[in-house]
């Protein structure tokens, strides 16, 4: 801990060095610290449930090396037009009936055109009217677009930093880390909650993972939701080709990443995101112990699979976990962001 910052009553800044020192702790010590922080800020047995829907699939101009939806790679994915509002509402109703409290709509765009935004704003209004929290992930925003989404009732905007800034250019070249920060600032400015995380298992070093977590934890204020995705190796993408031959990332390194996110962002919901099917039940249980308190719930992510809702209900029962209810005003853990 930084003594000067502590004396001034400020949280010390998280640098990559300090985050790397957390990663290097003995596993038991790291888990104990993460669990202590978790219990100080959250009900340790409650998990927030978000359901995803791809409202516009494939054909994206960007070259993100992990993504099934880039028009640059042959992943066999069929492009789909923007869904009708009625189709979205039907999926959202089903998600609510199944127990989700947040509905997240994703579009494979570099960023939305103003005309697209009218349709998405309508989706947000209708989903919100069902009593669900709303989230969208549409890529980079232009001036004024975040305000329009806020006016439609948007609660969260997902926009990930994805990886440490020094590795970013090795994964994506069509936009940069600074562009991501710019959109995040616009979202914050409009009064929308920020959902921002990243992907691990892309061949990055631990140093890069520590840099990603330090950069997320240094956003001020910190993101309310932090999705931690394990790379899903989609055949046809450059990263599946590069990482496909390697042994998968050590699952314990994934658990460490969750623990480090929990310690550095004590009031954020840390979401155990893509890759849950591959992790299996025992590793997921360790992730919950490390402080993960949110998941994507439902059999599909955007274009790839996720555990069946029934399997998740059984896992929750085995672990004594329960879905987190939405609190009054749409926020949970009052005072904890
Ligand atoms: N186009 C928008 C954007 O890039 O922000 C929104 C959709 S994009 C699919 C949302 C996030 O999904 C990405 O930032 C990335 O973190 C995650 N993602 C995409 N493909 C993935 C994969 N194969 N494995 C793990 N995470 C992935
Ligand atoms: C996030 O961090 N993970 C979600 C959500 N935000 C939009 C997406 C995961 C996508 C996994 C690959 C796919 O299904 O296409
Ligand atoms: Fe497009 Fe988003 Fe996929 Fe990148 S991650 S290719 S911006 S859909």
Query: DSSP assignment, residue 66?
Result: T
For residue 331, pLDDT beyond 50: no
**pLDDT, tens only, 159-210:** 999 999 999 999 999 999 999 999 999 999 999 999 999 999 999 999 999 9
CA distance 58 to 137: 14
Residue 139 CB less than 6 A away from ligand 3: yes
CA distance 91 to 97: 10
**pLDDT, tens only, 148-167:** 999 999 999 999 999 999 99
State the ligand closest to the CA atom of 135: 2
Q: Percent of the chain having pLDDT more than 70?
A: 92
CA 18 to chain centre: 23
Say if CB 124 and CB 138 are below 8 A apart: no
Pocket test for ligand 2, best of 70, 184, 229 (most atoms within 8 A of CB): 229
Q: How far, in Å, from the CA of 300 to the mean position of ligand 2?
A: 10
CA distance 214 to 1: 15
Residue 229 CB less than 6 A away from ligand 2: yes
Ligand 3 atom nearest 67 alpha carbon: 3
Give the number of other Cβ atoms within 10 Å of residue 147's Cβ.
15
For residue 283, pLDDT beyond 70: yes
Say if CB 156 and CB 192 are below 8 A apart: yes
**Mean pLDDT of all residues belonging to the chain:** 93
Q: Using alpha carbons, list the distances in angstroms from residue 336 to 39, 279, 298, 322, 333.
A: 12, 29, 27, 19, 5
Residue 67 CB less than 6 A away from ligand 3: yes
Q: Percent of the chain having pLDDT more than 90?
A: 90
Residue 232 CB less than 6 A away from ligand 3: no
For residue 140, pLDDT beyond 60: yes
For residue 142, pLDDT beyond 50: yes
Per-residue confidence (pLDDT) for residue 241, from 0 to 100: 87
For residue 7, pLDDT beyond 60: no
Task: Enumerate the active-site residues.
Answer: 60, 64, 67, 104, 135, 195, 271
Q: What is the largest CA-CA distance in the chain?
A: 57
Query: DSSP assignment, residue 44?
Result: T
Q: What is the phi/psi pair of residue 223, to 5°? A: -60, 145
Pocket test for ligand 1, best of 238, 302, 304 (most atoms within 8 A of CB): 302
Query: Exposed (0-12), middle (13-18) or buried (19+): which is 245, by Cβ within 10 Å?
Result: exposed
Per-residue confidence (pLDDT) for residue 248, from 0 to 100: 76
- The model's confidence at residue 12, banded by pLDDT at 50, 70 and 90, is low
């Amino acid at each position: 801990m930084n003594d000067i910052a502590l004396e001034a009553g400020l949280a010390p800044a998280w640098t990559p060095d300090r985050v790397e020192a957390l990663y290097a702790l003995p596993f038991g010590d790291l888990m104990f610290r993460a669990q202590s922080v978790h219990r100080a800020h959250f009900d340790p047995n409650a998990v927030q449930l978000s359901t995803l829907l791809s409202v516009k699939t494939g054909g994206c101009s960007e070259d993100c090396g992990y993504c099934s939806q880039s028009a640059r790679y042959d992943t066999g994915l069929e492009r789909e037009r923007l869904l009708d509002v009625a189709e979205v509402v039907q999926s959202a109703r089903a998600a609510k009936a199944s127990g989700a409290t947040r509905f997240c709509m994703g579009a494979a765009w570099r960023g939305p055109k103003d005309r697209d935004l009218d349709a998405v704003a309508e989706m947000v209004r209708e989903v919100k009217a069902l009593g669900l929290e709303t989230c969208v992930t549409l890529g980079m925003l232009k001036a004024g677009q975040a305000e329009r989404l806020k006016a439609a009732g948007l609660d969260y905007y997902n926009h990930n930093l994805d990886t440490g800034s020094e590795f970013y250019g090795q994964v994506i070249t069509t936009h940069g880390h600074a562009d991501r920060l710019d959109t995040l600032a616009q979202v914050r400015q409009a009064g929308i909650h920020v959902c921002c995380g990243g992907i691990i298992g892309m061949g990055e070093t631990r140093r890069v993972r520590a840099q990603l977590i330090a950069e997320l934890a240094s956003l001020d204020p910190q993101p309310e939701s932090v999705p931690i995705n394990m790379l899903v190796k989609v055949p046809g993408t450059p990263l599946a080709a590069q990482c496909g031959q390697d042994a998968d990332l050590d699952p314990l390194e994934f658990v460490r990443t969750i623990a480090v996110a929990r310690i550095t962002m004590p009031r954020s919901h840390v979401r155990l995101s893509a890759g849950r099917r591959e992790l299996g039940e025992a590793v997921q249980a360790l992730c919950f112990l490390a402080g993960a308190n949110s998941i994507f719930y439902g059999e599909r992510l955007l274009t790839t699979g996720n555990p069946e809702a029934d399997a998740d209900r059984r896992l929750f029962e085995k672990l004594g976990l329960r879905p987190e209810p939405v609190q009054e005003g749409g926020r949970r853990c009052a005072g904890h962001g």
